[in-house]
């Protein structure tokens, strides 16, 4: 490949950045299949054979290699065999970079739908580049990026990979530290990219962080108490980004007391309260209910698809109920969230198939069953048992 063609490659397709992205992607794909096994340290991935380090069999390796190929288009250029022939993280990164050098038109991300199956979302790189230019205009002047989120999801990809490359900033992965410690070590001019759960622990900081630290949060609407914790910790400003895997960035705000403002390229679709239009894309449907204040400003009022935010992930109580009902010892079940804010988790009520069943014995069988079939955020933190689902005297489902 000539030096001229290499110069045409966008700055974010850089070896160290792509290795970080692949480490997050591989760990996530691995957790979907082997949920009880601990994630490997990111530092070990570069030096070892991927399948040996992760304990994968041939089918698991094939699945993970396919996920990498589909995201970055390796199969379009005959580069996908490299993922099986060269099982080192660095070699996989080189294959991804070569694929992007040949064709950098679009990229795929995945999200979970109501069935729990990943949904493929393809974005033009031109659109993501335009969005990064927008954020660069708002966040220019930073010294480095502290990244507390994985970069294989679209939020982390935009702010933890593309933005620092665009602004020529170093990236520090701070996921190995507690939030209070990260804030205590932050330096003036840092940009901290995290999520509401991270910032909710900011009040635990003994003292205040350095001056001129700016934060970015996304992956779930930020509650008022988190904004208050951020202010108490001494963070200068926080940008909340509202978006989705399907649409990328949609809107943003700098205060809990402000509505979200649409990013410049989006316009509401006439007659459709939760659909957006832009010139270079199909209409984008929202996952949430929006209340419009005018054609540029809106508030968010809950999900349309029944998803619940648990530990920064969208989980679907209906899917969890289906998994419970697939157990031979379960005749009926109900699943609902409990807790508030970032402490939301799921709980379940189970009606045993055998009315005389020992609830403790059934529980011992049911927990490993769920562990094998559900991601950690999907697993009920509490399971109650009874002869019938709780209902009001009128026969309607009730809380328990």
- Residue 397 covered by a domain: no
End-to-end CA distance of the chain: 64
Which CATH number is 334's domain given? 3.30.300.30
Q: Where are the alpha helices (DSSP H) in the chain?
A: 3-7, 15-33, 42-45, 50-54, 58-72, 82-85, 89-102, 125-139, 154-157, 163-167, 179-185, 196-200, 224-232, 317-325, 359-373
Of 153, 17, 158, 22, the residue nearest 82 (C-alpha): 22
Which CATH number is 259's domain given? 3.40.50.12780
Residues 163 and 61 in one domain: no
From 75, 104, 133, give the residue that closes a domain.
104
Q: Is 70 exposed, middle or buried (0-12, 13-18, 19+ CB in 10 A)?
A: middle
Residues 86 and 29 in one domain: yes
Q: Which stretches of the chain drop beneath a pLDDT of 70?
A: 1-7, 31-57, 112-117, 203, 273, 305, 312, 341, 392-397
Rg (CA), the chain: 23
From 246, 275, 304, give the residue that closes a domain.
304
Domain that holds residue 300: 124-304
The reported pLDDT for the residue numbered 44 is 41
- Residue 356 covered by a domain: yes
- Residue 392 covered by a domain: no
The reported pLDDT for the residue numbered 38 is 43
Residues 220 and 129 in one domain: yes
Domain total in the chain:
3
The reported pLDDT for the residue numbered 55 is 58
Residues 175 and 256 in one domain: yes
Residues 128 and 96 in one domain: no
Residue 169 near residue 143, CB atoms below 8 Å: yes
Residues 205 and 134 in one domain: yes
From 76, 104, 132, give the residue that closes a domain.
104
Specify the pTM: 0.78
- Residue 114 covered by a domain: no
Residues 214 and 295 in one domain: yes
Bridge partner residues of 357 (DSSP): none
The reported pLDDT for the residue numbered 3 is 37
């Amino acid at each position: 490949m000539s030096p001229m063609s290499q110069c045409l490659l966008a700055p974010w397709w850089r070896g160290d950045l792509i290795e970080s992205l692949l480490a997050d992607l591989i760990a996530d794909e691995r957790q979907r299949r082997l949920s009880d096994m601990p994630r490997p340290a990111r530092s070990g991935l570069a030096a070892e054979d991927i399948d040996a380090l992760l304990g994968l069999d041939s089918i698991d390796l094939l699945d993970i290699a396919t996920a990498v190929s589909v995201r970055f288009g390796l199969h379009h250029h005959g580069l996908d065999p490299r993922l099986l022939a060269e099982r080192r993280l660095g070699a996989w990164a080189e294959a991804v970079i070569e694929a992007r050098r040949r064709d950098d038109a679009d990229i795929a991300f995945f999200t979970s739908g109501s069935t729990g199956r990943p949904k493929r979302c393809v974005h033009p790189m031109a659109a993501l580049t335009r969005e990064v230019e927008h954020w660069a205009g708002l966040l220019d002047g930073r010294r480095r990026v502290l990244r507390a989120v994985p970069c294989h999801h679209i939020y982390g990809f935009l702010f933890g990979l593309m933005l620092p490359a665009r602004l020529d900033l170093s990236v520090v992965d701070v996921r190995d530290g507690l939030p209070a410690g990260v804030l205590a070590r932050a330096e003036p001019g840092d940009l901290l990219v995290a999520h509401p759960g991270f910032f909710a622990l900011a009040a635990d900081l003994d003292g205040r962080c350095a001056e001129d630290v700016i934060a970015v949060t996304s992956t779930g609407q930020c509650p008022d108490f988190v904004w208050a914790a951020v202010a108490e910790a001494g963070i200068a400003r926080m940008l909340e980004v509202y978006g989705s895997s399907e649409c990328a960035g949609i809107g943003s705000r700098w205060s809990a007391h402000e509505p979200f403002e649409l990013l410049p390229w989006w316009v509401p679709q006439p007659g459709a309260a939760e659909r957006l239009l832009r010139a270079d894309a199909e209409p984008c449907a929202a996952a949430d209910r929006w209340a419009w204040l005018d054609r540029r400003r809106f508030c968010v009022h809950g999900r349309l698809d029944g998803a619940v935010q648990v530990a920064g992930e969208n989980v679907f109580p209906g899917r969890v109920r289906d998994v419970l009902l697939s157990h031979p010892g379960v005749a009926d079940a109900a699943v609902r969230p409990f807790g508030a804010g970032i402490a939301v988790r799921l709980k379940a009520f189970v009606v045993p198939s055998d009315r005389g069943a020992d609830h403790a014995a059934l529980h011992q069988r049911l927990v490993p069953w769920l562990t094998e079939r559900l991601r950690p955020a999907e697993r009920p933190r509490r399971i109650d048992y009874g002869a019938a689902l709780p209902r009001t005297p009128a026969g309607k489902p009730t809380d328990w």
